[in-house]
Amino acid sequence: MIKHQVIVVGGGLAGLRAAIAATDGGAEAVVISQVYPVRSHSGAAQGGINAPLGNAEDGKDDTWERHALDTVKGSDYLADQDAVEVLTKKASSTIFELEHWGVPFSRTAEGKIAQRPFGGGAFPRTCYAADKTGRVLLHTLFEQALKRKIKIYPEWIVLALAVEENTCRGLIAYHLPTGTIEEFQAQVVIFATGGYGHVFARSTNSLINTGSGMAAAYYAGAPLKDMEFVQFHPTSLVGTNILITEGARGEGGYLINKNNERFMEKYAPKAMELAPRDIVARSILTEINEGRGIEDSYVYLDLRHLGKEKILERLPEIRDHAMHFSAVDPVEKPIPVQPGQHYSMGGIDTDIDGRTEVEGLLAAGECACVSVHGANRLGGNSLLDTVVFGHSAGVVAAQLVQGKPCVEDSSALLNEREKVNKRLRVLFSGTGNEDPAVIRNELKNIMFDKVGIFRRGEEIKEALSSIRELKEKYSRLRVIKSTRIFNIDFVRANELKGMLDLAEIIACGALQREESRGSHFRSDFPTRDDANWLKHTMVSNMLEAPQFSYKDVKITRWQPEARNY
């Protein structure tokens, strides 16, 4: 059994920031990560990170209050406003700290941190490093972790949390390169395991983003919140669904249909291409559904008028992606784009310090729901969320372990280990003939087609019955190869259980919410209904079945209003 004071699960931005803060707070903290930390999905973030610095010529009047209002309005009033205040008040100092740690932000002519406009923002407030913002942030935080000699366990995959009397005692993890399965005892566990993108087809996320952390927390008794709110990014490359950053529109890119019309004029006459993502994604799909898409499946993102110099300076990687994956040079031709699943607004329910309902289990970043994004996240706010709330979770973890002696060997770990062993025996000696890869693909398509950008009660019900059939098939899996070493089949088959359960939770939440709010659009209930639905959806794992309840939204100073852009 391996023992540490604080175990952070996840080597992305939220996890690294948490581990750094816990270490600085005097705790002994380590990081467990399914992939080497710098390969976490955070490194794929392109467009930037928000803070009301007021550095842009037309952004001098920006304030944290304005950033907060934009975030709350962007969230369609479902965000908890006390959490949004924390996020936006801390934004500027967070950026300065990152800058002092070495993040090479792009600069204005006077040498200040450059800021570009992003969707739903009143001012240009998205700080960026060309179109590689996530990568430079992640490498900088990784350096800070190395400087503090924080121990990393790369390629360890957490299979389950060990909880007794609603207190987290540690976890069970699988070491991919050697096949070892180990118990890790901890006084505090921080989950920073990212989103569940691949529960849906056409996701912009890394392949490892399957929500295995959210599922493990849910099985361990931590409720999930607002899971029906799934962000679809308006612009991903047709075919691969590699993201084309909102920064491309922030720099002035146009969206055009097959008739060469800038169709956003009809849907958001003021904000145009820089309306929030939920609105732009629905507009694109409406154009396609009404026959104005190209080949009935996509629209164009046109950057040609920006000129080669600006594209090379501000969007070099976007150009690279378009050239390599779509054979289109955006300097000369428009990029074919379509909406793709992008972000999980919902997640493990936490308070403002990252505490979950399970004692000793904290969560931060995309796997958590504090909630600052409500029904729709604004671009540039997620990177900020990971760093701000990753930091608070680390600080709280260090306080929790202060003077607390390491618990003696807990039976919870041994019990959980036994359950994991049982699951392995079932997976390795299956007698059925169902292929987990087939189940996974069917699930992803059902979710994209029936619980996607436009939802209808009847279709969600069909999705639910298909998901339940797939769950039944999952109980009859064919045997997977039994080697323990580097067994990706095992990893995939194991995480599929969580994906099926998360899909069911997302679909149930979507069916029950009979209104349209942010990313959740019900064609059969097309308006927002504050009287009945201004509330968070909570779901707990009771007796193996999801149990739904609702919780009030915290409103501090911004009363819900109509959302016009």
Ligand X SMILES: Cc1cc2nc3c(=O)[nH]c(=O)nc-3n(C[C@H](O)[C@H](O)[C@H](O)COP(=O)(O)OP(=O)(O)OC[C@H]3O[C@@H](n4cnc5c(N)ncnc54)[C@H](O)[C@@H]3O)c2cc1C
Contact call for residues 237 and 244 (beta carbons, < 8 A): yes
Shortest Å distance, C-beta 360 to ligand X? 18
Residues 371, 217: Cα–Cα separation, whole Å: 17
Active site residue 39: no
Residues 550, 556, 557, 562: what is their CA dihedral angle, to the nearest 10 degrees?
Answer: -10
Contact flag: residue 257 with ligand X (CB under 6 A): no
Contact flag: residue 15 with ligand X (CB under 6 A): yes
Place of tokens 């996974």: 440
Contact mark string toward ligand X, 350..389, x via CB under 6 A:
---------------xxx-----------xxxxx--x---
Shortest Å distance, C-beta 302 to ligand X? 21
Residue (178 or 433) nearer to ligand X, CB: 178
Contact call for residues 250 and 297 (beta carbons, < 8 A): no
Contact call for residues 128 and 55 (beta carbons, < 8 A): no
Per CB under 6 A, the segment of 10-18, 279-287, 421-429, 554-562 that binds ligand X is 10-18
Contact flag: residue 49 with ligand X (CB under 6 A): yes
Residue (275 or 511) nearer to ligand X, CB: 275
Shortest Å distance, C-beta 10 to ligand X? 3
Catalytic residue among 17, 66, 277, 517: 277
Per CB under 6 A, the segment of 30-38, 61-69, 393-401, 524-532 that binds ligand X is 30-38
Contact call for residues 179 and 484 (beta carbons, < 8 A): yes
Residues 390, 411: Cα–Cα separation, whole Å: 30
Per CB under 6 A, the segment of 103-111, 203-211, 431-439, 547-555 that binds ligand X is 203-211
Query: Cβ–Cβ contacts within 10 Å for residue 515, how many?
Result: 19
Contact flag: residue 41 with ligand X (CB under 6 A): yes
Per CB under 6 A, the segment of 63-71, 85-93, 205-213, 311-319 that binds ligand X is 205-213
Question: How many residues lie near ligand X (CB under 6 A)?
Answer: 46
Residues 125, 329: Cα–Cα separation, whole Å: 28
Beta bridge partners of 3: 185
Spell out the SS3 assignment of 367-401. Answer: HEECCCCCCCCCCCHHHHHHHHHHHHHHHHHHHHH
Per CB under 6 A, the segment of 44-52, 141-149, 306-314, 556-564 that binds ligand X is 44-52
Sign of the torsion formed by the C-alpha atoms of 195, 197, 203 and 205 = positive
Shortest Å distance, C-beta 533 to ligand X? 25
Residues 335, 438: Cα–Cα separation, whole Å: 31
Q: And the tokens for 393?
A: 């979770």
Contact flag: residue 498 with ligand X (CB under 6 A): no
Contact flag: residue 134 with ligand X (CB under 6 A): yes
Residue (70 or 459) nearer to ligand X, CB: 70
Residue (192 or 534) nearer to ligand X, CB: 192
Q: How far is CA 234 from CA 10, 213, 240, 371, 459, in A?
A: 27, 26, 14, 22, 22
Q: Which of 4, 7, 11, 232 binds ligand X (CB under 6 A)?
A: 11
DSSP 1-65: -EEEEEEEE--SHHHHHHHHHHHHTT--EEEEESS-GGGSGGGG--S-EE-----SGGGTT--HH
Shortest Å distance, C-beta 466 to ligand X? 26
Residues 440, 244: Cα–Cα separation, whole Å: 25
Shortest Å distance, C-beta 549 to ligand X? 25
Q: Which of 5, 42, 235, 376 binds ligand X (CB under 6 A)?
A: 42
Contact mark string toward ligand X, 149..188, x via CB under 6 A:
--------xx------------------------------
Per CB under 6 A, the segment of 204-212, 248-256, 301-309, 453-461 that binds ligand X is 204-212
Contact flag: residue 241 with ligand X (CB under 6 A): no
Contact flag: residue 212 with ligand X (CB under 6 A): yes
* Count of all residues that appear for the chain in the document: 565
Query: What phi and psi, each to the nearest 5 degrees, are found at residue 118?
Result: -135, 165
Residue (144 or 245) nearer to ligand X, CB: 245
Residue type, 176: L
Residue (124 or 365) nearer to ligand X, CB: 365
Contact flag: residue 20 with ligand X (CB under 6 A): no
Query: What phi and psi, each to the nearest 5 degrees, are found at residue 255?
Result: -105, 130
Residue (175 or 520) nearer to ligand X, CB: 175
Contact set for ligand X, span 385-424 (CB under 6 A): 386
Contact call for residues 413 and 187 (beta carbons, < 8 A): no
Contact flag: residue 33 with ligand X (CB under 6 A): yes
Q: Which residues bind ligand X (CB under 6 A)?
A: 9-15, 32-35, 37, 40-42, 44-49, 133-134, 157-158, 192-194, 204-205, 208-209, 212-213, 243, 245, 343, 365-367, 379-383, 386
Catalytically active residues, by annotation = 277
